[in-house]
Amino acid sequence: MRKTIIAGNWKMNHTGKDAKETITGLVGRVVQDVKAEVVVAPVFPYLPMAVELTKGTPIHVAAQNMHWEESGAFTGEVSPAMLVDIGVTHVIIGHSERRTYFNETDETVNKKTKAALAHNLTPIVCCGETLEQREEGIMQPWIEGQIEKALEGIGADDLAKVVIAYEPIWAIGTGKTATAAQAQEVCSIIRKKIAALYSADVADSVSVLYGGSVKGGNVAELTGSPDIDGGLVGGASLKVDDFMAIIDNAVVK
């Protein structure tokens, strides 16, 4: 049975006061038996606070990135063991902004995914195409290639712990949203690729999220699609009312 997951990626937003207010607001409104799995991903300095504020609640805390090594001379980086040590449970890997601005590659995404699994962190592995790639008709092989490289060397048992997030780069922070049909088409491609690499049963165990201007008004149509199991939410996760509208309106299969 696939999980429905609503994950909020705060990106480089919210200082301590705003982060505390937002998390406290969510804690007060996310009910204990919430049907969707709720995840918030603040910036690194506020992860310990987020973990402390969400203790005993159904809200999980994610990091927005991590290194694949345990320790070493990697100035500015954070290891998976460090995230586990402070109580983080999820980590976003390979977001398009990391790929575009910080030289993240399919190879580093694979290394980070393996490292996350080795530390019992849930990796939310991102993939997506640019508008140019879509218009050139190479969207499908591009997405399939990202999935194949991200999952290289990962066994079927571990794959059940991986979450995939499809984020069309042209719909991130632009106000544009892929239609539910467009999002479903790509999420179906992702699931079929996983089935080809592993099996249909394994593919059916993997939650595939959609990311790209997800809002309370479109989340029901998106998550009502056969292969979309939730959302990786950007800007709308920064405000309690907006994020709660997404959580409340998500379709749980």
Q: Which residues of 172-187 are buried (b: 16+ CB within 10 A; e: fewer)?
A: beeeebbebebbbbbb
Are the CB atoms for 80 and 57 separated by under 8 Å? no
What confidence score (pLDDT) does residue 131 get? Answer: 87
Domain-by-domain residue ranges, the chain? Answer: 5-249
Is 114 annotated to bind ligand?
no
Catalytic residue among 97, 104, 144, 167: 167
Spatial CA neighbour of 178 closest among 147, 120, 117, 219: 219
pLDDT for 1 equals 76
Tell me, yes or no, if 167 is annotated catalytic. yes
Q: Is 142 annotated as a binding residue?
A: no
| Confidence (pLDDT) at 181 | 95
| pLDDT tens readout for residues 145-183 | 999 999 999 999 999 999 999 999 887 766 677 899 999
Residue 9 marked as a ligand binder:
yes
Specify the pLDDT at position 157: 95
213 is in an annotated binding site: yes
| Residue 60 annotated among the catalytic residues of the structure | no
Q: Which CATH number fits domain 5-249: 3.20.20.70, 3.40.50.12160, 3.40.50.720, 3.40.50.1370?
A: 3.20.20.70
pLDDT at position 170, please?
83
Using 50 as the pLDDT threshold, list the residues of the chain that sit under it: none
Catalytic residue, candidates 60, 67, 90, 95? 95
